[in-house]
Chains A and B, each alone.
Chain A
Amino acid sequence: MAPILSIRDLRKSYDGGFEALKGVSLDIEEGEIIALLGPNGAGKTTLISTVCGITMPTSGSVTVAGFDILDNYRQARALIGLVPQEIALEPFEKVINTVRFSRGLFGKGRKDTAVEDILKRLSLWDKRDAQIRELSGGMKRRVLIAKALAHEPRVLFLDEPTAGVDVELRKDMWEIVEQLRNDGVTTILTTHYIEEAEAIADRVGVINKGEILLVEDKDKLVARMGQKQLDVQLTTHLEAIPEALASYDLSLEGDGWTLVYRYDTKAERTGITKLLNDVSAAGLQLKDVVTRQSSLEDIFVSLVREAPENAA
């Protein structure tokens, strides 16, 4: 199946010469939830703004369901909903009117049942006649989501939806995203909370300094996280893994000075005792033994730090 969103070598330089996106390529499948992780200034918002038409790309291409965002901007944008990072709402307007406005703006005719459905889903129906300025911050965020959903988009961008939001609302937000997935809506969210990516995303992309460093299934990342690594540092240099240890899933690293053993911490038996016995039985002298656990955060931090060497 063709991806619903296809970004090819997207670059964006601002007038001052700052290069916010340095050739980003990304394919997103219909119905998935992808989280883009990255520190402040990584280019997350610029990426979203460019796809949504708020800023113009310097080069590269983006298609939404096959529609180019420049040549077929009407068809492309009609499929996209955007929830911006900052709360930006007309303070004196009623909730229901701003949602109606959004629906009309995106070319959909007035349909009160659709607006009602969205407001109810976001627990805003009771507040429909309230002026926006009377609402709490959390309610305002819900209004932003309602506006983004007003035209029934196929792709939803959430730019740091839970920044500065309390725990309860964050959970609600995740639930809403999950519901949308059931309706087949593709969601792209940016965040710098790793637990958020873990909680709702199918895939996680790491972005820093205008480059995508990694895109991987969350489950694989989490599996990596549940793994522990035992580094057996040797006093002698090895060319290959000794025959006696072939039954273990070992790798030789550090120019042959370290045997690396990966094991699942959740397993009943980790096999460490047997391995170490067999290592000494094979006549190898141990210099040191180190165990390490890699978390998503470690992966994230190391990727962000080691860019651009690690960019490949």
Chain B
Amino acid sequence: MNWSAIRAIYVFEMARFFRTIAQSLISPVLSTSLYFVVFGAAIGSRIQEVDGVSYGAFIVPGLVMLTVMTQAISNASFGIYFPKFIGTIYELLSAPVSFIEIVLGYVGAAATKSMFIGVIILITSFFFVDITIAHPLAMVAFLVLTCISFALMGFIIGIWAGNFEQLQLVPLLIVTPLVFLGGSFYSISMLPPVWQTISMFNPVVYLISGFRWAFFGLADVPIATSLLAIAAFTALCLGTVWWIFKTGWRIRQ
């Protein structure tokens, strides 16, 4: 293992994050506050409680997940796409590093960044609502796994993308709808039966449900199913990354 290379990539990527620390933090904090104002105050005054939890508190896990997923994807996809775009990828390819080390560096950095932002949002939410965390360890585990698996997915998108449009395409057309329809702002049980069934095909439902369970001990789907879902998703991403590594797809001619 070339640990020195993993560290170099990680530090370099984190430096990019800290260079723009203001916008890296202000924008998620601001948008989270807006969500609280719009959903918590406006809609929350009509919904009030979901399964015994105040609506303002109920949306916190969903908000954290929403941000963490989109941030992990955008950070990881940009992190590996940018060197391809500006040509500095030559250095990675000519360095004595294996693909695993490249993935560890980039995905590790992207996962760290998104986790950082997730925690900031959680802290922000404490200013708006009272939250207790029923299963802190499970909460951390879900957060970490989600950050890693979505960063892996972002890495795959970044490798695949041939231009900036494609880089935005998957997050915009697939991930964002799935995340919004994944029960960030509502309980699946509040939907009509048909939509409940359809929602079961949305993998994000399982993640948000599991994460919410860690907070309030209540879930749309059994916690075991949620764990299975995130494990399966992580395995799928790891498998894809391994395949890219084997074939050199879109990296080495």
Contacts and interface: CB of A to CB of B under 8 A. Distances in A.
Interface of A: 14-15, 52-56, 73-78, 80, 82, 84, 86, 88-93, 97, 100-109, 147
A92 B16 contact: yes
B21 interface: no
Given A77-B94, A92-B19, A84 B12 contact: no
Nearest to B3: A107
B96 A107 contact: yes
A101 B9 CA distance: 7
A71 to B, nearest CB: 13
Contacts of B92: 105
A56 B253 contact: yes
Nearest to A131: B19
Contact of B94 (A52, A90, A91): A52
Given A54-B90, A55-B253, A88-B86, A105 B248 contact: no
Interface SS, B side: helix
B93 interface: yes
Nearest to A147: B91
Contact of B95 (A77, A89, A90, A93): A77
A91 B7 CA distance: 21
Contacts of B87: 84, 86, 88
Q: Which among A82, A88, A91, A109 has the greatest number of chain B C-beta atoms within 10 A?
A: A88
Contacts, number: 83
B3 to A, nearest CB: 9
A89 B253 CA distance: 22
Interface in B1-30: 2, 4-5, 7-9, 11-12, 15-16, 19
B90 A82 contact: yes
Interface residues of B, number: 27
A250 to B, nearest CB: 52
Contacts of A91: 86
A78 B96 contact: yes
B248 A56 contact: yes
Interface in B228-253: 248, 252-253
Contacts of B253: 14-15, 55-56
14 contacts: A53-B252, A54-B94, A56-B253, A86-B87, A90-B12, A92-B19, A93-B15, A97-B15, A100-B8, A104-B4, A104-B5, A104-B8, A105-B9, A106-B96
B196 to A, nearest CB: 47
B94 A82 contact: yes
Contacts of A109: 4
B145 interface: no
Contacts of B12: 90, 93, 97, 101
Contacts of A55: 252-253
Given A55-B253, A90-B88, A93-B12, A75 B5 contact: no
A53 B90 CA distance: 9
A33 B43 CA distance: 73
Given A55-B252, A92-B16, A105 B91 contact: yes
Given A54-B94, A88-B91, 15 more contacts: A55-B253, A56-B253, A77-B94, A77-B96, A78-B96, A84-B90, A90-B86, A90-B88, A104-B7, A104-B11, A105-B4, A105-B92, A105-B95, A107-B4, A107-B5
B105 to A, nearest CB: 9
B97 interface: yes
Nearest 4 interchain pairs by C-beta: A104-B8, A88-B87, A74-B96, A52-B94
Interface in B90-141: 90-97
A105 B91 CA distance: 9
Nearest to B86: A88
Contacts of B5: 104-107
Contact of B93 (A54, A92, A101, A104): A54
Contacts of A100: 8
A88 B253 CA distance: 19
Q: Which among B87, B88, B94, B248 has the greatest number of chain A C-beta atoms within 10 A?
A: B94
A107 B90 CA distance: 16
